[in-house]
Chains A and B, each alone.
Chain A
Amino acid sequence: MYVSPVREPLISGEKSYSKVTEDIYAPMTGKPGKLWFGGLTLALIALGFGLFSIFITVWDGIGTWGLDRTIGWGWGITNFVWWVGIGHAGTFISAILLLFRQKWRTSINRSAEAMTIFAVMCAGLFPLIHMGRLPLGFFIFPYPNTRDVWVNFNSPLLWDVFAISTYLTVSLLFWYMGLIPDIGTIRDRLKNGIQKKIYAFLSFGWTGSARHWARHESMSLILAGLAAPLVLSVHTIVSFDFATSVIPGWHTTIFPPYFVSGAVFSGFAMVLTLMIITRKAINLEDYITKAHLESMNKIIIATGSIVGIAYITELFIAWYSGVVYEQYAFVNRAFGPYWWAYWIMMTCNVITPQLFWIKKIRRSFAATFVISIFVNIGMWFERFVIIVTSLHRDFLPSSWSMYSPTWVEVGIYIGTFGLFFTLFFLFIRFFPVIAIAEVKSVLKTSSEKFIKKGK
């Protein structure tokens, strides 16, 4: 495959095939540093606090949350949608960017896929808790049963169960399948011992033969084909949770594609936030370069602008529709009691990402880090605005209400951060953060060393 010399190299420095393996394998060897232990401890504390908050919720009931009869969905569903959204970057990178032959995906796909899986786990927690009785969570699965109760097939909430569990399964498969050659590499580097046995088991007998590779590649294509529609389906169904209703501010037809775009937007922001730190912490600067940063920021600006246009479209059509309820809902969003949430959302999602039009900013790690955090915040507030401000003004003014979270709800949210980061810290310790085999596949065409040689 020919690559134009005009293109920026994706791997900098003098890298040979074995150097790539060594660099990426390095963080997994030796004793983990203080930073890692410190981080893990913090994450575990947060997780513990979250578990305690869940315990309180289950023990005392959902009354420990700030919900009432008007506002039945608060932080719980906000967090659910937020985490599911974050989970979208992984599949987008691994499936859609694979189909679009984007070489820069090879340096970030592994960690993004891992984040996807962890984020979906965090997300799945909230509906489960919301249903109240954790041990009865299996009621959501439709199976011929002795309870004489069927699930409600008409409900988008049930479609969510299918969409998200399919998504989790395919993402997991994708992630693990990509890991197999790398696990094989690690196995071969390990001396005898229990560690080697574990990696040998996890590698599924990978030998790296041509036949294995051929199957591996056709499998990734099939999975990419399956996962591409899943990128759309999950957040589409999530948007249906709202848009199938008749609540002003929820019922609007632009929701499905706009939610999907917002999800990819927030997912990329989270990948950026984490990878900017990780690349520094474990010395992967040669693999995650400014070229990667720029490409990702372009996706941020594209998806962010789609979201921005959707906001404005909603606003305009609310006026255009002539429906007084819609009109009120949007005026209330912008100037009602939750105006601050709306303007945080607008600033963080629509205005700050536009700074990426400036080349210097989209190629700066520091600036990107700050903006990516803005996006994370903005996308959380987007869900909060959609959920809470649409609900808090009931059709009956006597039912109008205000919502603020209790410490229990905040605790569960913090707990999901704990879960996410615990898993992430374990992941960077026990698995290669960058797909070794995939980076090698672009080494000949896109590394600084080989490009120089070519000239």
Chain B
Amino acid sequence: MYKSFEFTKKIKSFLIATIVIGAVLAVAGIAMNLDHTHRIWANVLLNGFFFTAIAMSAAFFVIVHVLGESGWHTSVQRIPEAMAMYVPIGGVFMLLVLVGMHDIYHWSHTEHLDEILLGKSAYLNPMFFSIRTVAYIIIWSLLVIWFRKTSLKTDTDANIKLFNRQRGIAGIFIVIFAVTSSTSAWDWIMSIDAHWFSTLFGWYIFVSTFVSAVAVVILLLFVLRRMGYMEHINDEHLHDLGKYLFGFSIFWAYLWVSQYLLIWYSNIPEETIYYVKRIQDFEGLFYANVIINFLAPFLILMARGTKRKLNWLIAASIIVLLGHWVDMYLAIMPGAIGHPEFGILEIGMTVFVLGIFLFMFFRNFAKAPVVPENHPYFKESFDYDNIR
């Protein structure tokens, strides 16, 4: 009834071609920037982090629905589940960042630190940083794999105990991720601007990647539909995904404003410097980021009707996904390379990592039925309405 996904040669060769093109462009970009290693490593970090965080956010998406005793999500659950399986691969890029640490994080040059960075050195030092990075990757990977395995077991075994176990894993996941989502954002992103600090930063980055993950779920759903799968997805499911995209885009804008407004209002130089740098050197992108990432999904998805039409959803998702890539770009580049750079290197690296992400997704998605049919709430997913 629910047609299983087949990872055909055609898709495979298309994705491999994507990866190869990305790799060629990236290598060309690297070759052109050999005297400019900051930029190379910053790109590794940008795409390494962005897609790993999207995968983790996809896992988070499933986890919250499990904990919230949701029923509707079971019809799409396997998409974010398969996305999450990218975490161990994405982790490899984050390990690469450790190699290029000195080109991104100036606190890692322990030989010449100023007083403030010396004060932070108990936390920001290459050793502890590496330990944390490895720990995040290992723990996250284990959690994601553990959950996925349990979920796949339910396909052959309808025992309710398996669902209770999923709930248990979800509980452990959420506790760990509640802490590590923030700390990893401080470590990998905030510490690029090593003197600067903001308590909200972790949550801000998390919501940015969460919105991106929802956009990716919608886009993958669209692709799968075009290939003739996921025919069971109806307007209500689209509506709910649309609500997530709409609601969390607004929430992201809310956090953006919260952070910006409080820093602007208090006008303390140690804090405003973060925005000064971005407004001076990245002015166009800086304003475009907040305006487009807020207004586009807000206006497109405001009406009930547009959330229920795949074409509108796709339009909003593409904007949101590109927009939040720019958001990450703005979080990383000003500190790492200091001025806007965009060329073959950026494009190549992104296409390369995106290709791997998609390859991993389709490979994992093909490994299991497209829906968890034995989920106790599965039937609920096909008999509910959004209020009119």
**Interface positions of A (Cβ within 8 A of B):** 1-4, 6-7, 98-101, 217-218, 220-221, 228-229, 232, 236, 240, 243-246, 251-257, 298, 305-306, 309-310, 313-314, 317, 320-323, 357
Q: Is B280 on the interface with A (CB-CB < 8 A)?
A: no
B contact residues around A232 at 8 Å (CB): 254
Task: Using CB atoms, name the residue of chain A closest to B382.
Answer: A2
When distances are taken between beta carbons in the complex, the residues of chain B under 8 Å from A229 are 250
Q: Which of B23-31, B224-232, B258-266, B350-358 interfaces with chain A?
A: B258-266
- Asked whether B6 is an interface residue with its Cβ less than 8 Å from the other chain, the reply is no
> Measured between alpha carbons, how far is A323 from B261 in the docked complex, in Å?
20
Contact B203 A257 (CB under 8 A): yes
Enumerate the 3 nearest inter-chain pairs by beta-carbon distance, A residue then B residue, closest first.
A254-B199, A2-B383, A253-B200
Of the candidates A4, A100, A240, A252, the one whose C-beta lies within 8 Å of that of B199 is A252
What is the CA–CA distance of A99 and B382 in the complex, to the nearest angstrom?
18
| Known A217-B388, A221-B387: A3·B380 in contact at CB below 8 Å | yes
- Name which of A218, A253, A323 has the most chain B CB atoms within 10 A of its CB: A253
Complex: A228 Cα to B119 Cα, angstroms: 42
CB-CB < 8 A to B382: which residues of A?
2
Contacts of B182 in A (CB 8 A): 309, 313
* B126 touches A (CB below 8 Å): no
Q: Which residues of A contact B116 (CB under 8 A)?
A: 322
- Do A251 and B379 have beta carbons less than 8 Å apart? no
How far is the CB of B128 from the nearest CB of chain A, in Å? 13
Q: Is B255 an interface residue (CB 8 A)?
A: yes
Q: A residues within 8 A CB of B197? A: 317, 320-321
A-B contact pairs, 24 of them (CB 8 A): A1-B383, A6-B160, A6-B376, A7-B69, A7-B377, A99-B243, A101-B72, A220-B387, A221-B388, A243-B266, A251-B266, A253-B259, A254-B200, A255-B258, A255-B262, A257-B203, A305-B178, A309-B178, A310-B199, A317-B197, A317-B198, A322-B116, A322-B119, A322-B195
Q: Which residues of B contact A246 (CB under 8 A)?
A: 266, 268
The one of A4, A217, A310 that contacts B387, using a Cβ cutoff of 8 Å: A217
Within 8 Å by CB of A244, from B68, B266, B270, B388, lies B266
Query: Which residues of chain B come closer than 8 Å to A298, judged between CB atoms?
Result: 67
Give chain A residues whose Cβ lies under 8 Å from the Cβ of B175. 305
Give the CA-CA distance A310 to B380 in the complex, in Å: 36
Q: Closest approach, in angstroms, between the C-beta of B127 and any C-beta of chain A?
A: 17
Q: Say what secondary structure dominates the interface of chain B.
A: helix
- Chain A residues with Cβ below 8 Å from B198 are 253-254, 317
CA distance A257 to B182 in the complex (A): 14
Residue of A252, A305, A313 ringed by the most chain B CB atoms within 10 A? A313
Q: Does B385 interact with chain A (Cβ within 8 Å)? A: yes
- Known A4-B377, A101-B384; judge A322-B199 contact (CB<8 A): no
Among B188-213, those with CB < 8 Å from A are 195, 197-203
The answer to whether B71 has its CB under 8 Å from any CB of chain A is: yes
Report the Cα distance A298→B67, complex, angstroms.
9
Given A2-B380, A323-B270, A357-B171, residue A244 in contact with residue B265 (CB < 8 A): yes
Q: Measured between alpha carbons, how far is A245 from B376 in the docked complex, in Å?
A: 51
How many angstroms from the CA of A228 to the CA of B254 in the assembled complex?
13
Q: What is the bound-complex CA distance between A220 and B175, given in angstroms?
A: 35
Q: Are A257 and B265 in contact (CB under 8 A)?
A: no
Q: Which of B95-146 contact A (CB under 8 A)?
A: 115-116, 119-120, 123
Q: Which residue from chain A places its CB closest to the CB of B204 in the assembled complex? A: A253
In the bound complex, residues from chain A placing their C-beta under 8 Å from that of B265 are 244
Main secondary structure of the interface of A (DSSP, over half): helix
**Contact-size category for B:** 35 or more
- Of residues 232 through 285 on chain B, the ones whose CB sits less than 8 Å from some CB of chain A are 243, 247, 250, 254-255, 258-259, 261-263, 265-266, 268, 270
Nearest CB of chain B from residue A139's CB, rounded to whole Å: 23
Instruction: Pick from A251, A306, A322: contact of B262, CB below 8 A.
Output: A251
Chain A positions within 8 Å of B72 at CB level: 101
Find out whether the CB atom of A313 lies under 8 angstroms from the CB atom of B384: no
Is B179 interfacial (CB-CB < 8 Å)?
yes
Interface centre among A232, A314, A317 (most CB of B within 10 A): A317
From A214, which residue of chain B is reached at the shortest CB distance? Answer: B388
Chain A residues near B266: list those with CB within 8 A: 243-246, 251
CA distance A317 to B119 in the complex (A): 12
Task: Enumerate chain B residues within 8 angstroms of A240, measured Cβ to Cβ.
Answer: 261-262
In whole Å, how far is B307's beta carbon from the nearest beta carbon of chain A? Answer: 12
CA distance A220 to B67 in the complex (A): 27
Interchain CB contact under 8 A, A253 and B258: yes
Residue of B nearest to A247 (CB): B266
Chain B residues whose CB sits within 8 angstroms of the CB of A221 once the complex forms: 387-388
Which residues of A are found within 8 Å of B243, using beta-carbon distances?
Answer: 99
Q: Which of B186, B254, B255 has the most CB of A within 10 A?
A: B254
A7, A246, A257, A298 interface centre (most CB from chain B within 10 Å): A257
Alpha-carbon distance A6/B162, docked complex (angstroms):
14
Q: Which residues from chain B contact A317 at a C-beta distance below 8 Å?
A: 197-199
State whether A251 and B268 are in contact (beta carbons under 8 Å apart), knowing that A2-B379, A6-B160 are contacts in the complex.
Answer: yes
Nearest CB of chain A from residue B81's CB, rounded to whole Å = 20
* A257 and B380 contacting across the interface, CB-CB below 8 Å: no
| Chain B residues within an 8 Å CB radius of A255 | 199, 258, 262
How far is it, in angstroms, between the C-alpha of A357 and the C-alpha of B170 when the chains are bound?
13
What is the chain A residue whose CB lies nearest that of B267? A246
> How many angstroms from the CA of A105 to the CA of B235 in the assembled complex?
25
CB distance from A455 to the nearest CB of B (A): 14
Specify which chain B residues have a CB less than 8 angstroms from the CB of A100 in the assembled complex: 68
Complexed CA–CA distance, A305 and B199 (Å): 16
Contact B171 A322 (CB under 8 A): no
A4, chain B: closest CB distance, angstroms: 5
B123 touches A320 (CB 8 A): yes
Across-interface contacts of B250 in A (CB, < 8 A): 229
Q: Chain B contacts of A1 at CB under 8 A?
A: 383-385
Chain A residues whose CB sits within 8 angstroms of the CB of B69 once the complex forms: 7
Chain A proximity of B296: nearest CB distance (Å): 18
Interface pair A4/B262, CB less than 8 Å apart: no
Assess A4 versus B388: contact at CB under 8 Å? Given A254-B200, A313-B202, A322-B120: no
Q: Is the CB of B258 within 8 A of A4?
A: no
Interface string of B310-333 (1 = CB under 8 A from A): 000000000000000000000000
Bound CA span A244–B123, Å: 28
Is A313 a contact of B199 with CB atoms below 8 Å? Answer: yes
Residues from chain B with Cβ under 8 Å of A220 in the complex: 387
Q: Which residue of B lies closest to A312 (CB)?
A: B179
Residues of B near A251 (CB, < 8 A) are: 262, 266, 268
List of B residues within 8 angstroms of A218 by Cβ: 388
In the bound complex, how far is the Cα of B120 from the Cα of A317, in angstroms? 10
Is A320 a contact of B203 with CB atoms below 8 Å? Answer: no
Kindly state the separation between the CA atoms of A117 and B385 in the bound complex, as whole angstroms.
Answer: 30
Q: A254–B199 Cα gap in the complex (Å)? A: 5
The residues in B between 359 and 388 inclusive whose CB is less than 8 angstroms from any CB of A are 376-377, 379-380, 382-385, 387-388
Look across to chain A and name the residue whose beta carbon is closest to the beta carbon of B270. Answer: A323
Q: Which residue of A lies closest to B69 (CB)?
A: A7
Chain B residues, CB < 8 A from A244? 261-262, 265-266
| Distance of A230 Cα from B258 Cα, bound (Å) | 15
User: For the complex, what is the distance from the CA of A391 to the CA of B123, rounded to whole Å?
Assistant: 30
Looking at A298, A310, A322, which has the most chain B CB atoms within 10 Å of its CB?
Answer: A322
